[in-house]
Each structure stands twice: as structure tokens, then as C-alpha cells.
Amino acid sequence: MLYTYCFLFSPEKTLSLPQGFKGDLQMIEKGAIAAVVEPNLPKAELEEDDQKLVQAVVHHDWVICELFRGLTVLPLRFGTYFRGEADLRSHLAAYEESYQQKLTALTGKVEVTLKLTPIPFSEEGSSSTAKGKAYLQAKKQRYQQQSNYQTQQQEALEKLQEEIKKTYPQLIHDEPKENTERFYLLIDSHSFSVFGEKMEQWKQFLSSWSIEISDPLPPYHFL
């Protein structure tokens, strides 16, 4: 079994590969495409130990990011195995043209993850000693303020998506997870600082959101 990290263009010269999870990494080439593999990484061994499994997941991403520093890569999902070298070479031969097209399209590109978490409506000053009709009126007013806040919050999110698309059309808006919105952008590697400048401008209408921007990443979501 060959544990496989990623595909890339067959290099013109020998590459210095990162260290594998348990042993040395190898490169297997077929035509214009190569695969970075770790030959002796038993699947069953990882699945039997939760701690080791987590470590292997982290190492998988680390290897891909190390290679991505100087190369265009097609990252594979954690846990991708091929039965052997012949099986892997057969796969590379069958999909050579497709992988070439993808690698060419991704050359000079990086993925950026943008996470936005809504800042809850503040209840400060909501306590009141009013009673009767005055209390009900204050409660109704507070509810309306909260509703307006949440509406403006959603409008700001939609405006952000529109603004991003104007400059960065390769955009994926993922389903919210744990109340956090996620955007994945594919941008030119040399324009990452420009994206940061644009985000500073967009933050002016995103005051009700907490924002987190990733470092440049391999194109996990654009394969």
C-alpha cells in the first residue's frame, strides 16, 4: 500500500522531499505527473490509535504545505492509498491530461480561507425597572433593535460576498459550521497583500462580525 499525499508536475531535477510520518517519502512518476508517497504507513495502525491518527492528519497537511512552498500541487485527502506502484502509475497515466490541466490552472495561485463569526447583539443596558406597559414597550423596542441588528448583520455578509466576487470570482461560500461562515478564495499568490488591503476596507461595514484570514494555503477546495 502506498500512502499518497499529492500530485504534481514531474520535476526536471531531483527534489528534496520533507520527512514522512514514519519514514522517507518517495516520488513516483508517470509521464508528466508525479505522486509523493510514503510506502510504509499502515492504514490499520493509524485507525487503531486516535492520538496517532490526529498526528498523521496534521503531518499530512504539513507535508503538502512544505511542498507547496515552491511547487504547484494537487493535495489529496488524508487517507488516500493506492494498492501498489503499478496501480498508482496506471492511475497517473489514465488521468495525466486532467491533472496537467488542473496543475496548469493552479500555477501561481493560492487559497485563502476567510472565517466570519457573528458578534452577538449586546444586551447591555437592557435591564429596566419599568413595570406594566412601560416594561412591555421597552421589551418590544429591545426586540426590534435586536431584529434590526441581525438583519444588518446578514446584509453586511451578503455585501461582502458581492464585493469579493467583483475582484476574486473564484469563490466558494461553504455551509456555516459552528455558527461560523467560511469563504474560500483562489487568488494570485502575488496579490495576497492586496487582498489584505481590500479586507481592511471591507471591515468598515463588517463591525458586527469577527473576522479571521488564513495564510496562503494549497488549493484544497479548487481541485
Collapsed DSSP state (helix, strand, coil) of residue 36: strand
Q: How many residues does the chain have?
A: 223
- Give 126's pLDDT tier (boundaries 50, 70, 90): low
pLDDT reported for residue 43: 84
Return the pLDDT at 141: 84
Q: How far, in Å, CA of 71 to CA of 103, rounded?
A: 10
pLDDT surpasses 70 at 181: yes
Provide Rg for the chain, Cα atoms: 24
pLDDT tens by residue, 11-32: 998 899 999 999 999 999 999 9
pLDDT in tens, 57-93: 999 999 999 999 999 999 999 999 999 999 999 999 9
Give the closest residue to 78 by CA, choosing from 41, 110, 40: 41
CB 161 within 8 A of CB 173: yes
pLDDT at 125 over 70: no
Q: In this predicted structure, what is the pLDDT of residue 46?
A: 83
pLDDT digits (tens, 9 = 90+) for 192-223: 999 999 999 999 999 999 999 999 999 999 98
Q: In CATH, what class is 109-213? A: alpha beta
CA-wise closest residue to 203 among 195, 214, 193, 211: 211
pTM recorded for the entire structure: 0.86
Residue 54: is its pLDDT beyond 90?
A: yes
Q: Which amino acid is at 77?
A: R
Q: Is the pLDDT of residue 127 over 70?
A: no
pLDDT in the model for residue 223: 87
